[in-house]
Structure 1
Amino acid sequence: MWQPSSAILQLVKDNAKQLLPDALFLSLLHRKHIGRFPRLLRPTTFNEKILQRSLRPDPRYAALTDKLTVRDYVKAKVGEQHLVPLISSPDVFTQSVFDALPNAFVMKANHGSSFVEIVQDKSKVTFDGLRTMANRWMSTDFYLIARERHYRQIRPRIFFEELLLDEHRQIPADYKVHCFGGKSGRPMMYIVVISDRFGNNTRGDVFDVHWNHLDVGIGPYARSTTPPPPPKNLNSILDMAAVLAEDFNYVRVDLYAPGNAVYFGELTFTPGAGVVPMRPDRVDFEWGRLLT
């Protein structure tokens, strides 16, 4: 008797998932990654409250999650000098757009996470290769991945930024500053440092504002055996994060700090879509108490 292949069964399973209501889809996803079903009506943990935000987003989230339209907000708050220089944001990615790009650049999409392609030597890539990648990104409905509803309002765009490098000619670390309670004054902040993000030894380390290396793990990243030293401009990083977070009771502000500069990366209101394991598990509850 004929038996369906594992690929066919997986396809049927994936299609069935897309038919689930958002709340049920997120509850099952939370159970899979966190190990328990979420309390969506009376959320307690950080992940549960993020899930609730995904289902009932603030009307401001879409424009400030869009990696292109958020630039106006950042310019007004902290100044244009803190924006990574924008090379191009074409309506259509054509051969002429590609030809006009410099030798090194970063290609991104504005409507989701992980749509990033770093090009350090243009001679090693082709227009057709980048266009295929861009088309795949543009055809991805990011809302369907984890039902973060504010992503439905973002019109997909491709854009190109200058490539930032640190003093060692490496991709700079990503400082993800979780800001709690910014609306009531200086926020409570925790810094998640993602180092070697595009390399073979990616690490994720969590620090408080005094650069104490916390025994906390978030998501798939392993902690560094020897934690990275504080950046020379730590105070500038924290000051900028505080300003960008001041209109919200919680937001994650992503920044880069090569040399003595500080550049804006993105604002994230529903990090990890509310299904990010936190180690030890009590941190999920501790951060949940901070998110009011």
Structure 2
Amino acid sequence: MKTKIVYVLASSQEDYFLEQCLISLKFLRKYNPEAYVVLVCDDTTESSLNGNRQDIKLLINELKSIQFERPVNKVERSRLMKVNLRKYVEGDFLYIDCDTIIVNDLSEIDNFTFSIGAVLDGHQPLKSHPMRSYFKKQNQHLNYNFDEVLSYYSGGVMYSKDDESSHDFYAHWYNNYLESLKSGVKLDEPPLAKTNEELDGIICEMNGIWNCQIRFGALYLANAKILHFCSKKNMPVNNLARREFLYKIKERGLDIDEMQWYLENWHRTIPSNLLLSTNIDANFNLSRDYEDARSAYVIVKMQDGIFQPQITTFKELYNHYRNIIIGKFNPMSLAKILFKEKFGYSIENEPINSLNRKLFNLAFFNPVDIWTTLADKLAVRKFVKSKGCADILLTVYKYWDNVGVIDFSSLPNSFVLKCNHDNGSTILVYDKFSVDKSFIEDFYRRKLSLPFGIETAEPHYLGIKPFVFAEELLENDKQFSSGLVSYKFFSVHGKAKFCQVIYDTECYDEQKSQIYETNGWIQCPGYILKNEGRMKIPQPTSLMKMLEVVERLSSEISFCRVDLYEYHGRAYFSEMTLMPAAGRINNFSQELLCLIGKNI
């Protein structure tokens, strides 16, 4: 391929533009290994290319550093370089935005004969574009008749032949951009549209496969050469555009399992439930009414996934205060009371090998100091690292002991919120721009004020300093489940014979579970007494790794439940639980309870 590929980059350590560019270059090299790549960047960006950031030099052939004499912000630097590319790059070139991936051979571009080429914005004429009125506002500061524009082009992918017409086009575009800057408008597409009108429609319309804008490009996805994300900030249309994925690339570089998987399966970079809309639906999708309706739906969906017990009767209120008083001064007595209320007989009459009986004895006759550390969802991370399992830890973004200082702006678009000192406090935030922040703050204000463990007779929780923290959110990648699947391993002296698989977790009231023997992954029907699933659950790809992790973490403990996730074939840590159901498990058959408990 003789045509050069050109990227423009203005970036610093604080943003993710370089990571976007890295991803695009990695895909380019997979499908076009011999392409000649020019990276045009400013001098400030070039000076920041150290550490992991210098890896970008391995994927390009030429770096052109542009000096800026006066202070210019990143957005302006990027656009000024883009609209002036004909001065920096010799020969024919194809400019590509960084928020793209290349998914096909591009060598056909050597056959192009026109001077300037681009793809229609939204893959449709301007008159029928659902964002036409928005574009008109963006162009109103420029001195030309926008109403006469028929073709409004995307500047995300542009072809330029090294000829006089192309040089003239870029000179006009640059001058029009400077004019636009005087009005405080930093976008490059309005000056692009004006330039095309001034030069009698010089831009040749390229096939949509060269700049498949996912939100509007259903017709071009099958044969696409370049995918352009073009996401709204709260509705990413590609998994690679998610801030949490870009954070991984920033921290670990490109050689992560997830990136390799996407390289081999580029179709899976598009969310499986992505809906593309047309006509009136597309207009509604872009309206303020849609934003408001979507926000309300997200809030309801978020609350559906939260376990929120309510006190509705006088008896429940009485038991609440009774449990607090007894649990504070005599937790063992409270444990006996709660057991008898749940099962109808005393703990002393529970089979001696039952897991419930063994947990009671461990908690009140053989307490272990490390229980408090292991039950603390933040402190346990240090323990996991000490056992050589740091690679299974999810990223913790921030943690707070006061909900008043939670800074949502510093968090990625999606994440998990939870407390470190309790259970039932997890909130999955899929879109931080649509959540009810006051609800979240009120919810965690209550959680942080409650000393968990008193009412449930679990004294090992009382030594934990409460925090709320934001953690990396794993998407569900299992076709058999509506939500992220949890694998709960019941470990006795480091060996886990049984695993409880919990799936369909999107709604708390609808989740199901099954028990599997880990040796041979054998389904054990009848061991779950309520909401037992029936389908055959595939053995997790990382099962052997999971069992190794369980042994490392729990070999020095009589009993522990180790909860893990699997995402793209890789095991991740969730938590360690010392007393499942507070030692009053009523959803397992007595046979299973005794099979687990007999060796403790």
Q: Deviations over 1:108-156 (max 9, x none)?
A: 1000111100010112213322111110111122112311111110011
Residue among 510, 518, 523 paired with 1:213: 523
> Which aligned pairs between 1:267-278 and structure 2 lie closer than 5 A?
267-278=576-587
> Which aligned pairs between 1:1-292 and structure 2 lie closer than 5 A?
7-20=313-326, 21-39=330-348, 43-56=352-365, 57-94=367-404, 97-167=407-477, 171-182=483-494, 187-199=495-507, 201-209=510-518, 210-218=520-528, 221-291=530-600
Deviates more, 1:32-41 or 1:274-283: 32-41
Would the aligned equivalents of 1:90 and 1:97 in 2 still touch at CA under 8 Å? Answer: no
* Partner SS, residue 194 of structure 1: strand
Consecutive unaligned residues in structure 2, runs of 5 or more: 1-311
Would the aligned equivalents of 1:205 and 1:227 in 2 still touch at CA under 8 Å? Answer: no
Would the aligned equivalents of 1:34 and 1:276 in 2 still touch at CA under 8 Å? Answer: no
Would the aligned equivalents of 1:175 and 1:256 in 2 still touch at CA under 8 Å? Answer: yes
* Change beyond 3 A, Cα 1:168–1:252: closer
In 2, the alpha carbon distance for the partners of 1:12 and 1:89 equals 35
In 2, the alpha carbon distance for the partners of 1:149 and 1:167 equals 37
Deviates more, 1:112-121 or 1:46-55: 46-55
After TM superposition, give the deviation of residue 243 of structure 1 in Å. Answer: 1.4
What amino acid is aligned across from residue 75 of structure 1 in structure 2? K
Would the aligned equivalents of 1:95 and 1:127 in 2 still touch at CA under 8 Å? Answer: no
What amino acid is aligned across from residue 12 of structure 1 in structure 2? Y
Consecutive unaligned residues in structure 1, runs of 5 or more: 1-5
Deviates more, 1:42-51 or 1:103-112: 42-51
* Change beyond 3 A, Cα 1:101–1:188: closer
After TM superposition, give the deviation of residue 278 of structure 1 in Å. Answer: 4.7
After TM superposition, give the deviation of residue 272 of structure 1 in Å. Answer: 1.1
Q: Deviations over 1:139-183 (max 9, x none)?
A: 12211231111111001101000110133696421000001122x
* Partner SS, residue 142 of structure 1: coil
- Percent identity between matched residues is 25
In 1, the alpha carbon distance for the partners of 2:331 and 2:404 equals 36
Q: Identify the residue that residue 3 of structure 1 maps to in structure 2.
A: none
* Partner SS, residue 244 of structure 1: helix
Deviates more, 1:87-96 or 1:124-133: 87-96
Q: How many residues are treated as equivalent by the alignment?
A: 281
In 2, the alpha carbon distance for the partners of 1:14 and 1:93 equals 25
Would the aligned equivalents of 1:55 and 1:148 in 2 still touch at CA under 8 Å? Answer: no
In 2, the alpha carbon distance for the partners of 1:167 and 1:12 equals 44
After TM superposition, give the deviation of residue 279 of structure 1 in Å. Answer: 4.1
Would the aligned equivalents of 1:108 and 1:117 in 2 still touch at CA under 8 Å? Answer: yes
What amino acid is aligned across from residue 574 of structure 2 in structure 1? G
Would the aligned equivalents of 1:77 and 1:244 in 2 still touch at CA under 8 Å? Answer: yes
What amino acid is aligned across from residue 470 of structure 2 in structure 1? F
Q: Deviations over 1:12-71 (max 9, x none)?
A: 343234333322221121123234211299954210111223334311110111000000
* Partner SS, residue 283 of structure 1: helix
Please give the TM-score of this superposition, normalised by the length of structure 2.
0.44
Would the aligned equivalents of 2:401 and 2:466 in 1 still touch at CA under 8 Å? Answer: no
Deviates more, 1:6-15 or 1:126-135: 6-15
After TM superposition, give the deviation of residue 257 of structure 1 in Å. Answer: 0.6
Q: Determine which structure has the larger helix proportion and give its number.
A: 2
Structure with more relative contact order (C-alpha pairs < 8 Å, separation 6 or more):
1
In 2, the alpha carbon distance for the partners of 1:97 and 1:242 equals 38
Deviates more, 1:158-167 or 1:210-219: 210-219
* Change beyond 3 A, Cα 1:124–1:24: same
Would the aligned equivalents of 1:218 and 1:277 in 2 still touch at CA under 8 Å? Answer: no
Would the aligned equivalents of 1:104 and 1:163 in 2 still touch at CA under 8 Å? Answer: yes
Q: Deviations over 1:92-118 (max 9, x none)?
A: 334561221111011010001111000
In 1, the alpha carbon distance for the partners of 2:458 and 2:320 equals 18
Would the aligned equivalents of 2:476 and 2:483 in 1 still touch at CA under 8 Å? Answer: yes
* Partner SS, residue 262 of structure 1: strand
Q: Which has the larger radius of gyration?
A: 2
What amino acid is aligned across from residue 488 of structure 2 in structure 1? K
* Change beyond 3 A, Cα 1:96–1:251: closer
Q: Deviations over 1:219-250 (max 9, x none)?
A: 7x422121311112221111211211112121
In 1, the alpha carbon distance for the partners of 2:351 and 2:435 equals 50
Would the aligned equivalents of 2:527 and 2:591 in 1 still touch at CA under 8 Å? Answer: no
What amino acid is aligned across from residue 317 of structure 2 in structure 1? L
* RMSD of Structure 2 on Structure 1 (CA): 2.4
In 1, the alpha carbon distance for the partners of 2:337 and 2:469 equals 34
* Change beyond 3 A, Cα 1:94–1:39: same
